Each structure stands twice: as structure tokens, then as C-alpha cells.
């Protein structure tokens, strides 16, 4: 295992997900249901599926596209979504 990539990925995902709307959903569901284990298991299961899909898509794109293209396309998508959010379109 490449520990440098592991630590970089863990750190990026940890700080990106910390206190975002997904975490607020988990807090809300736990406080309403009073079932933290069920909420935790549901959250972990959902993250596993989403992560599996993103890694599979990344691996597929990596076979056909240069990493720079994927990086710039991702950055462009974030910018477009940000502009649309500011404009109130989404």
C-alpha cells in the first residue's frame, strides 16, 4: 500500500466532509431517532457505496484520459456549480 496516497486521501476526505450537510443529516437523524448505531451503519454503508462508485469511475477515466484532463474537468465543474448556486439556479 502507498501510505503517502492513503494519508493524503484520508486527510482530504476527512476535512472536506467535516461539518458539511451530510454530517448535519447524520446529527439530525440521530437526535430524532435516538438510534445512533443504525444511523452510523447507514452512513458508513452509504459512504462505502459512494466511494466504490467514485473509485470505479476514477479508475475507468484514468484508463482513457490523462490525469490533467480529469483534474481540469473536475475543477471546471466545481466552478460552474458554484456560479449556478450564486445565481440561484440550483
Domain hosting 22: range is: 3-65
Question: For 15-57, what is each residue's pLDDT tens digit?
Answer: 888 878 888 999 999 999 999 999 999 999 999 999 999 999 9
CA distance 42 to 31: 15
Q: Are 36 and 44 in contact (CB under 8 A)?
A: no
Give a yes or no: residue 74 inside a domain: no
Give a yes or no: residue 87 inside a domain: no
- Of the pLDDT bands very low, low, confident and very high (cuts 50, 70, 90), residue 61 is confident
Query: C-alpha cell of 6?
Result: 492513503
- Of the pLDDT bands very low, low, confident and very high (cuts 50, 70, 90), residue 90 is confident
Give a yes or no: residue 11 inside a domain: yes
Q: How many domains are there within the chain?
A: 1
Where in 48-90 does DSSP place strands (E)? none
pTM of the model as a whole: 0.65
Amino acid at each position: 500500500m502507498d501510505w503517502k496516497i492513503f494519508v493524503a486521501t484520508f486527510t482530504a476526505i476527512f476535512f472536506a466532509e467535516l461539518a458539511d450537510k451530510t454530517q448535519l443529516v447524520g446529527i439530525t437523524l440521530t437526535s430524532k431517532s435516538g438510534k445512533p448505531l443504525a444511523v452510523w451503519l447507514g452512513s458508513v454503508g452509504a459512504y462505502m457505496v459512494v466511494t466504490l462508485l467514485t473509485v470505479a469511475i476514477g479508475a475507468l477515466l484514468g484508463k482513457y484520459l490523462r490525469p490533467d484532463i480529469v483534474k481540469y474537468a473536475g475543477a471546471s465543474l466545481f466552478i460552474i456549480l458554484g456560479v449556478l448556486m450564486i445565481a440561484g439556479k440550483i
